């Protein structure tokens, strides 16, 4: 399954009220949205036909989230579905995740692209002249699992360079923010990167259909109306019953 097929199906299943995208480029992924949307990219050049009420923001995600009311385009400042596909460096992707999660609810879904590089070249912090570039975004996965163990962190075997889906976000948790500087120190290493086998061989990745066909999406939509603590508790049980838990190391 390609990443845009995954994203299209998530839109269908979630029926998000609000969609946020970081990294727009030509607008191919943004063209999948049918809801009120915000799309952020300092260099977007949209050539795809769009079918949604969208606020296009020509800025970096850091600049966008530094605004007083970054989600003013939405009916309420809550992101139901987010797609992070900006700068392919771990520290940028993690910072985008931290900023996005501040505006999430337990039933929100955060999708991060390019997390499973197939080669050392694809994983470089400097983009190769040819071919796909995942960068070292994969480094944020273990950071999420270590510092945010209550998140459901799912690597999906999508082409070309893998996708991460994060469930049960908690905007009150500051674990990543307090550890951010130390994490960046460990992330920033010279090329060539030492890409772990679990990333290159996708030994922890699951078939995207396992997520998409799980009997959870009616509950995700229904439980949006509950207070966060109550919806988190119920969704945690729903995800566990469906077998959606963070894969173990392999």
Please tell me the pTM assigned to this model. 0.97
- State the Rg of the chain over Cα: 17
| Per-residue buried b or exposed e for 224-234, using 16+ beta carbons within 10 Å of the residue's own CB | bebeeeebbeb
Contacts of 182 (CB under 8 A, 6+ apart): none
Tell whether 139 is covered by a domain: yes
Cis omega (within 30 of 0) on the bond before 190? no
**How many domains are contained in the chain?**
1
Residue 210 lies in a domain: yes
Domain annotation covers residue 247: no
What is the CATH classification number for the domain harbouring 124? 3.40.50.150
Is residue 78 a part of any domain in this protein? yes
250 residues of the chain, pLDDT tens digit each: 999 999 999 999 999 999 999 999 999 999 999 999 999 999 999 999 999 999 999 999 999 999 999 999 999 999 999 999 999 999 999 999 999 999 999 999 999 999 999 999 999 999 877 778 999 999 999 999 999 999 999 999 999 999 999 999 999 999 999 999 999 999 999 999 999 999 999 999 999 999 999 999 999 999 998 999 999 999 999 999 999 988 766 5
Task: Specify the pLDDT at position 144.
Answer: 97
* Cα dist from 229 to 106, 172, 214, 225, 234, whole Å: 8, 11, 23, 11, 9
Contact 67, 183 (CB under 8 A): no
Whether 246 is in a domain gets the answer: no
Question: How far is the C-alpha of 140 from the C-alpha of 111, rounded, in Å?
Answer: 13
Give the pLDDT confidence score for residue 250 in this predicted structure: 53
Residue 142 lies in a domain: yes
| Cβ(33)–Cβ(54) below 8 Å | yes
Domain that holds residue 79: 3-241
Closest CA to 103 of 71, 66, 150: 71
């Amino acid at each position: 399954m390609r990443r845009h097929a995954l994203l299209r199906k998530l839109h269908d299943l979630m029926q998000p009220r609000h969609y946020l995208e970081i990294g727009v480029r030509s607008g191919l992924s943004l063209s999948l949205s049918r809801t009120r949307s915000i799309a952020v990219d300092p260099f977007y050049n949209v050539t795809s036909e769009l079918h949604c009420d969208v606020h296009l923001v020509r800025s970096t995600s850091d600049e966008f989230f530094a605004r007083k009311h970054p989600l003013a385009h939405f009916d309420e400042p809550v992101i139901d579905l987010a797609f992070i596909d900006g700068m392919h460096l771990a520290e940028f992707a993690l910072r985008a995740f931290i900023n996005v999660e501040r505006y999430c609810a337990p039933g929100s879904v955060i999708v991060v692209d390019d997390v499973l590089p197939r080669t050392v070249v694809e994983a470089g912090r400097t983009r190769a002249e040819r071919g796909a570039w995942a960068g070292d975004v994969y480094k944020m996965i273990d950071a999420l699992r270590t510092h945010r163990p209550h998140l459901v962190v799912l690597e999906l075997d999508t082409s070309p360079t893998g996708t991460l889906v994060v469930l049960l976000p908690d905007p009150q948790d500051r674990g990543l923010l307090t550890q951010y500087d130390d994490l960046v120190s460990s992330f920033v290493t010279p090329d060539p990167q030492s890409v772990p086998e679990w990333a290159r061989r996708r030994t922890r990745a699951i078939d995207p259909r396992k997520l998409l066909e799980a009997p959870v999406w009616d509950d995700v939509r229904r439980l949006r109306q509950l207070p966060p603590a109550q919806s988190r508790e119920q969704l945690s049980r729903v995800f566990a019953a469906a077998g959606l838990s963070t894969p173990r190391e392999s």
